[in-house]
Structure 1
Amino acid sequence: LVRSFQVGEISRRTFLRRTTAALGSVAAANVLLAACSPVLDPSMMTPNPVVDEEATANQPALGEMSTSNGVVSGMVAYPDPDGEELTGHLAYPEGDGAHPGIIVIQEWWGLNDHIKDVANRFAAAGYVALAPDLYKGQVATEPDEARKLVMELDMAEAVNEIQAAIDYLLAQENVAGDKAGIVGFCMGGRLVLMTGLASDDVGAAVAYYGSPLTPEE
């Protein structure tokens, strides 16, 4: 249902009707609808571009951290196993002390403001959160482009990049423990399951409506 809605095969009304029947709750269906919908600015009078070029161009400089409501956040860079640069949104509580670490995996839209906000909310709750940018700066706002981006994504390579994010996170002085939690949504839900299977550094994994692993996996 989620995929059919996101690629435009079914309408919003049909999605709500079917998910309400499946979940037995209108409230739960609306939560799922909100989570699977792109974050759009309701004040915009014209459609958003397929790829949000402005969001890409206006990304904060790497290492430029800001503080708001007790949370420090910003984009950081770290290496993959081959030494290539990867980036992600890092958020942590202001002040001293060590905190548990958690990886936040994007939906198929990319590392948009919604996923950054999820990481920030984890930080406000006392975690050091890192959301890796698996699309290398690209952010989709329409289902067709999101589908193209996810089909171009090498899932096995994405797991390797998530492991690099875990390695970076666990190396931070303000991260406690030798394992990280990981949470993901839609496409990110499946990547959570794949990473949890592949990594010894994952202490807890939570997948929100991600496709299940195969019996072989």
Structure 2
Amino acid sequence: MSTSRITSFRPTRRSLILGAAALATPAMLSPDTAFAQEAEPALDPRFVGETVSFPAKRWTMKGWLVRTRSGGRRPGVLVLPDQRGSTPSFRNIARRLAAEGFVAFVPDLGAPFGLEGGGDDARIAIAKLTTAEVVQLFDASLDTLARQQDCNGSVGGLGYIWGGSFVLQLAMATPSKLKCGVAYYTLPPSPDKAQTIKVPMQFHYAEQDARTGPVIDAFEKQLIGHSKVYEQYIYDGVGASFANETMTRAFNREATELAWERTIAFFRKTLATA
């Protein structure tokens, strides 16, 4: 049975929650490995998906936008990909977000290099970008999503490991634009940078992740000490990539479904009030 430890919006209150409840939400893919076999299903006819081109400093960027056909202006979620660009796994996550009522947008960091759709060639090209350049590209992507006709301008960010680190970067650099962020198994920022986080954040960590385990408690104390609005979940008995269905040894369905439910609830709560 998977369990998770919680730090809630009341940061002084800790509790233990069992994660074995049967949840109706489908499992969420976490595209954080280059070894996953990725498949992209046909788009559900209830939704509209399209490639959007937009300028970003000296580059021409592209991203994949998906939304419901039912109309109306909705909150947006920027899905930040990893170093391989906009792979099918990230577009599948965007589909799930659209099914939950959000306008989802996946920027393709391979597009400026003519390497759309992600993959190892895109990873090599993207690795040449500096941190500042990646932030610029994601910042332009954030602006593009917020301007979409179907988006109401209230936008959150979602990322895993590398992509999650840039959710944090945007949260620190563009608090007037990014209304909230969700990061999975991402190393926390340094204590001095943690103080600059001004938007609600939700973090998902794996107890058996050797990278993040030693620093999670210190990060929590830093956030509590500065009265930050955040949620932090530590999933007991699982390792990093626990939400990646394609990694059978790491995948944990109970933790994945619980994390997805929390992610959606967080976006609904924070984007509705942003």
What TM-score do you get using the length of structure 1 for normalisation? 0.65
1:91–1:120 Cα contact (<8 Å) kept: yes
Deviations, residues 92-140 of structure 1 (Å, cap 9, x unaligned): 1113211101100112332110001111111111111111011323533
Matched residue type, 1:166? L
- What CA RMSD, in Å, does the superposition of the two structures yield over aligned residues? 3.5
How far apart in 2 are the matches of 1:216 and 1:74? Answer: 40
Does 2:56 match 1:77?
Answer: no
Superposition pairs for residues 31-70 of structure 1, below 5 Å?
A: 35-37=31-33, 38-40=35-37, 68-70=44-46
2:79–2:105 Cα contact (<8 Å) kept: yes
In structure 2, the partner of 1:5 is none
Q: Secondary structure at the match of 2:54?
A: strand
Does 2:132 match 1:185?
Answer: no
2:28–2:93 Cα contact (<8 Å) kept: no
Q: Secondary structure at the match of 2:191?
A: coil
In structure 2, the partner of 1:140 is 119
Q: Secondary structure at the match of 2:49?
A: strand
Superposition pairs for residues 1-217 of structure 1, below 5 Å?
A: 35-37=31-33, 38-40=35-37, 68-82=44-58, 84-136=59-111, 137=115, 139-140=118-119, 146=123, 148-149=124-125, 151-176=127-152, 178-199=153-174, 200-217=176-193
Q: Which structure 1 segments of 5+ residues have no match? A: 1-19, 43-54, 56-65
Matched residue type, 2:53? A
Q: CA deviation at 1:75?
A: 1.5
Aligned in 2, Cα 1:149/1:79: closer, same or farther, shift over 3 Å? closer
Matched residue type, 1:170? A
In structure 1, the partner of 2:264 is none
Aligned in 2, Cα 1:34/1:181: closer, same or farther, shift over 3 Å? closer
Aligned in 2, Cα 1:159/1:40: closer, same or farther, shift over 3 Å? same
Matched residue type, 1:40? Q
What TM-score do you get using the length of structure 2 for normalisation? 0.53
How far apart in 1 are the matches of 2:185 and 2:57? Answer: 29
Identity of aligned residues (%): 26
Instruction: Give the structure, 1 or 2, with the largest relative contact order (CA under 8 Å, sep 6 or more).
Output: 2
Q: Which structure 2 segments of 5+ residues have no match? A: 6-17, 21-26, 194-274
In structure 2, the partner of 1:14 is none
Q: Secondary structure at the match of 1:160?
A: helix
How far apart in 2 are the matches of 1:71 and 1:211? Answer: 34
2:79–2:157 Cα contact (<8 Å) kept: yes
Q: CA deviation at 1:151?
A: 3.5
Name the count of aligned residue pairs.
Answer: 168
Q: Secondary structure at the match of 1:126?
A: coil
Matched residue type, 1:36? D
Matched residue type, 2:76? G
Greater share of helix: 1
